[in-house]
Amino acid sequence: MQINSDLQFIKYLKGAGGDTLKKCYQCATCSVVCPLSSDQKPFPRKEMIWAQWGLKDKLVADPDVFLCHQCGDCTAYCPRGAKPGDVLGAIRAYAYTYYGFPSGLAKLASSSSNLPILIGLPAAIILVLWYISGGMHLPEGTIDFGKFFGEWHFHYLSKTVFFIDAIMLPAAGLALFSAYKGVSALWAKMAAGLETKPGFRPSCPQFAKEFLWPAVQEIISHKRFNECGVNQDRVRGHKPLMLAFIGLLIVTTYGFIRKDLLGIFNPSLHGPIPLWDPIKILANVSAIALIYGILLLWGKRSNDESVSGSQGTFYDWFLIYEIAVVGISGLLSELTRLAHIGTLAYGFYFIHLVAIMMLFLYMPYTKFAHLVYRTFAMAFERYRQSDYVTKRA
């Protein structure tokens, strides 16, 4: 049997948190404690030996890698300190770059050495557009972020909403397209060993109802986190964070409808949403939940690294920093606006816009991508066990 090892892949894993990879001696303790493992799928034992052999193509096409939610039981009970959970995290980090589109942007977001560019690119775009808009000046009188990019007489759409749309919609569109390209390529690789009856495939509505929606429900409920042992308390950080994003998605959607659509007929809706408005209350509660959740995860990761003596990787920390900046800058923007401190309010708002653009732009290449890839891996898990498939890999 010939094994085509990818030595560069092994080198990447060792530098991205999987430096303990070679300590594994296949005792199978990890598979015994992992709730995802079965007699037919000794997870993550098989992934550990594939990683040791440098079998990149098998690992990036392995749905089990994405089903893992890094509960930490395998790492806690490993007698050799091989840290399978960290190795799997490194494999996922590689996969997001491997499937990333465009590849240049995906590679850029994979290294801490590129951090100045990762921050500087969206900051420069927003700064240039702010300058072009003519709104780059300290506010006079009442502070209104709706006038951040200035004002014009086109009453159907405020100038600030236009510029924010011009910044955020392309960034979000690129992220969604990249995620689509990535999960499509992943699904094709996962399904390569499956056989289905000719013409016997689920329609889009059937796929959504039978496979995708149950996966989404399971992720929202955090059902598999309840099967964790040592890291079961991670749900305390993940749940408020997830609910905060759902709340902020509702707020963003409402804001888009209010300012971009209804504002065409009623220009007064372009102004700030009143503090007593239920949507504004939801926004503030979500912001606090976002900060609370990310601080819990921040503290837990710091504690885990302190206990294990391991050093955190860029992949582990980048999203935590990103979300923390989004939440804190947003809250500080509002507080300084209410306190009528114009210079600080505009400064924090600029940082907030940069952080949001970074969150959109780099979503498919950071740990955020796990939410997307894992959802489709869970859908695939159901699909390969369904009657649509006649032969399983």
Using alpha carbons, list the distances in angstroms from residue 256 to 182, 192, 252, 323, 349: 27, 41, 6, 21, 18
270 band by pLDDT with thresholds 50, 70 and 90:
low
Rounded CA separation 180/253 (Å) = 21
Distance, in Å, from the CA atom of 329 to the CA atom of 317, rounded to the nearest integer, reads: 18
What is the rounded distance in angstroms from the CA atom of residue 161 to the CA atom of residue 183? 32
Q: Minimal CA–CA distance to 112: which of 16, 235, 251? A: 16
pLDDT per position as a tens digit, 273-322? 788 888 889 988 999 999 998 888 888 778 777 766 666 788 888 999 99
Among 136-140, 160-164, 267-271, 332-336, the least confident range: 267-271
- Domain range list for the chain: 7-98, 103-384
Q: How far apart are CA 107 and CA 105, in angstroms?
A: 5
Q: What percent of the chain has pLDDT over 70?
A: 94
Q: What gap in Å lies between CA 103 and CA 364, rounded to an integer?
A: 11
| Residues whose CB falls within 8 Å of the CB of residue 371, separated by 6 or more in sequence, listed in order | 219
CB atoms within 10 A of CB 24: 22
Q: Answer yes or no: are the C-beta atoms of 315 and 93 closer than 8 Å.
A: yes
d(C-alpha 366, C-alpha 112), whole Å? 12
CB 51 within 8 A of CB 64: no
d(CA 251, CA 284): 10
Four-residue CA torsion sign, 16, 22, 26, 27 = negative
Helix axis angle for 45-53 and 84-98, nearest 10°, is: 60
pLDDT band at 21 (very low <50, low <70, confident <90, very high): confident
Spatial separation of the C-alpha atoms in residues 166 and 347, rounded to whole Å? 20
Question: How many helices (H) and strands (E) are present in the chain, helices listed first?
Answer: 17, 2
Among left, alpha and beta (phi > 0; psi -120 to 50; other), residue 272 is beta
Mean pLDDT in residue range 29-50: 86
pLDDT in tens, 151-197: 887 777 778 888 998 999 999 999 999 999 999 999 999 988 788 87
Give the pLDDT confidence of 310-348 residue by residue, as tens digits: 667 888 889 999 999 999 999 999 999 989 888 899 999
Report the C-alpha dihedral over residues 57, 58, 62, 65, rounded to 10 degrees.
-90
pTM of the complete model beyond 0.95: no
Residue of 67, 85, 68, 69 lying closest to 30 (CA atoms): 85
pLDDT digits over 80-107, tens only? 888 888 889 889 989 999 999 999 999 9
> By the 8 A CB rule, do 381 and 67 touch?
yes
